[in-house]
A and B are shown apart, each in its own frame.
Chain A
Amino acid sequence: MIEGILIGLTTALTFQNILMVMVGCFFGTIIGMLPGLGPMTAIALMIPITYGFDPATGLILMAGVYYGAVFGGSTSSILLNAPGVPGTVATSFDGYPMAQQGKAGKALAIAAWSSFAGGTLSAIYLLFMAPSLSKVSLSFRSPDYFALMILGLTAIAAFSSKGQFLKAMMMVVLGLMLASVGQDSLSDITRFTFNNMNLTDGISFVLVVMATFAMSEALTIILKRNDPTSAAKQVSLTELGSIKINKEERTKMYKTIPRSSIIGFLIGVLPGAGATIASFLAYGMERNVVNDEEKEKFGKGSVNGLSAPETANNAACSGSFVPMLTLGIPGSGTTAVMLGALLGFGVQPGPRLYMTNPEIFWSIIMSMYIGMVILLILNLPLIPYIARILAVPKNYLIPLILFFSVTGIYVMSFNNFDIYLMIGIAVVATFLRLYDFPMPPLILAFVLGGLMEENLRRSLLLSNGSWEFLWDRTLTLCILLTTILIVVWHFYKSIIRK
């Protein structure tokens, strides 16, 4: 392994490859900030460019773009509540309230350091555990995945504050219902399309995120413009704050980062899971482990609540390289695009990759760490300038948010229907938000909907329609018991509080 690491370091530290990481991080950050243009688009744009390079350099460039895009997505989540990337939706839960309290600079700094720490730790995990983790990830079966989805949805308990459990559950069901629109993945039978061709492919994730977060946030700000209770909130939006993280906040981050990086990395390793689920789970778990006083701050600008998803999503990015490189199974949509590029280079990923092409395997792992350092060097000094976006008067900022939302959908589909649908969902979401119906559970359910149905289908078909698959395997049973424990604990705490 030492020999492999040295080969990787030699390859990653060449001038060309360091330059590629820098270019990748920079472009990725910019593209990630634009709503609708996530890492997948960014990497897809890079593929034609990478064909001029050798495989290691090409993949290093794409890995840089990937990290940059995830970090860029956090920036728009924190400043505009418009997640540029699905993996950064959870970042907005506490990042945006923090920015509203005049701590935008601090929120961006926490995000940058957490991303750096998450990425660094997971690069270390990857270094030592990649070959053995590929075996673990292969042991996950459909029932385990289904149980994992259920566990993910219990994270809604974390999002729902006092007395909101049922509201959160209703939003989960609504999210799953929205995800069920379109063709059934196995039989191609159309569902809930009402003979409308525009719904055949289902509703796009970006559309739902833009509608429920960016657009409905913009509409809520206008709606509550003269509301005296939200006046203070609006004044503080123009304050940028310091980017210095104080000792107390650092102490909180020291505790959050290691556990979130482990969750993020492990979820990233599972084929098909990825940064989005990792960040939601890390957020939910973090809320469950902190003390009551800190728990109350979740959703209102908690340092732990911001640090956890940011650490996890970057850790998951590294984790998702494990199944891609060692099994040839992409861990996320983005790594699926990278896998395509890898095959285009004539490299066959698999368990023997780190023996047959050590320079590719280890140089990617090494360049991940270098990428993290470069991302931090590039972004920390820019924070005061990036945060100035909040100083834009609301008369300009609101139309610009709407413009970014519509553009995000327009460039994806060139379809009027999608724009109408987005406006419709945004209006409903704005109304629901007025009455404290939480949106994060809806988004999480929407993300998990397809995967959940897929795994339930496989489990039920394999067990011939019997629900015994839930307790047949020890792993499935353990995950489900954890879920039950979380729900019971949540109810116990709410009864104690009363």
Chain B
Amino acid sequence: MNINTTKVISLLFFIFSVFYLYTAYQIQVFAFDENAPFNARTFPIYLGYAGLFFSGLKVILPEPNTIKVQHKNLEYKKTGILILIAIIYGATILKVGYFLTTSLFLFTSYYFLGERRWVLMFLLSFPFVAAFMYLLHGVLDIYLRDPFLQSIGVMG
């Protein structure tokens, strides 16, 4: 049986709305607010029901134009690697510092996307990030945390 993915997404959204609605009912409000015309849980409850209504309709009603995605043509592997590199970048940026992690993130991303012009890859990572950092930190005075540069005495 061929399952329509849009309907599956709508069904997932329906389940998500059930969870959202349940959580909305669990929001603790102040005792004096419990019977007020509007409290912290009123709007989320309306939203939960709206989510159930629209996703429910999408599941029930016939699909006018079905979208077919050719999965074999999609580059899942490269996209996955890029997401993984971005996660590692996010995990290390605070501990290692902006300059080194950003430069390495750019360099490895260029590499995994198939680039092999090493000089250009280098120029568009380390010196580029240094110039960008100078613009933000030096010119615009926006603080950028960088333990690595601080440890080698480049940044105060």
Residues of A bordering B, CB below 8 Å: 31, 37, 45, 162-163, 166-167, 169-170, 173-174, 176-177, 180, 184, 186-187, 189, 191-192, 219, 222-229, 393-396, 398-400, 402-403, 406-407, 410-411, 414-416, 419-420, 423, 427, 430, 432, 434-437, 452-453, 456-457, 460-461, 463-465
Contact = CB atoms under 8 A, between A and B. Distances in A.
B57 interface: yes
Contacts of A396: 110, 115, 120, 124
Contacts, number: 174
A192 B45 CA distance: 12
Nearest to A498: B64
Contact of B54 (A169, A180, A453, A460): A169
Interface string B30-50: 100100111111111001001
A395 B113 contact: yes
B37 A464 contact: yes
Given A411-B142, A457-B43, A463-B37, 4 more contacts: A177-B47, A394-B113, A402-B82, A410-B93
B74 A223 contact: yes
A38 B144 CA distance: 18
Contacts of B54: 166, 169-170, 173
Which applies to chain B's interface (DSSP): helix, strand, loop or mixed? helix
Number of chain B interface residues as a range: 35 or more
Q: Closest 10 interchain pairs by CB? A: A465-B37, A419-B90, A399-B109, A163-B64, A184-B40, A189-B40, A395-B115, A395-B113, A227-B73, A453-B43
A415 B105 CA distance: 17
5 contacts: A174-B13, A180-B47, A398-B109, A411-B143, A419-B93
Chain A contact residues, majority secondary structure: helix
Contact of B38 (A225, A407, A460): A460
A398 B111 CA distance: 12
A399 B105 contact: yes
B75 A226 contact: yes
Interface of B: 5-6, 9-10, 13, 17, 20, 23-24, 27-30, 33, 36-44, 47, 50-51, 54-55, 57-58, 61, 63-65, 67, 69-70, 73-76, 78-79, 82-83, 86-87, 89-91, 93-94, 98, 102, 105-106, 109-110, 113-115, 120, 124, 132, 136, 140-145
B33 A187 contact: yes
B141 to A, nearest CB: 7
A437 B58 CA distance: 12
Contacts of B10: 170
B90 A420 contact: yes
Contact of B91 (A173, A416, A434): A416
B110 A395 contact: yes
A395 B47 contact: no
A37 B140 CA distance: 11
A157 to B, nearest CB: 13
A434 B79 CA distance: 14
A410 B98 contact: yes
A176 B47 contact: yes
Contacts of B55: 170
A219 B113 CA distance: 12
Contact of B58 (A166, A407, A432, A461): A166
B105 A222 contact: no
A358 B38 CA distance: 44
Contact of A399 (B33, B44, B113): B113
Please indicate which of the listed interface residues B30, B90, B136, B141 has the most CB atoms of chain A within 10 Å of its own CB: B90
A415 B145 CA distance: 11
Contacts of B20: 177, 192
Contacts of B105: 399, 402-403, 406
A400 B113 CA distance: 12
Nearest to B76: A223
A180 B43 contact: yes
A399 B110 contact: yes
B40 A166 contact: no
A174 B52 CA distance: 11
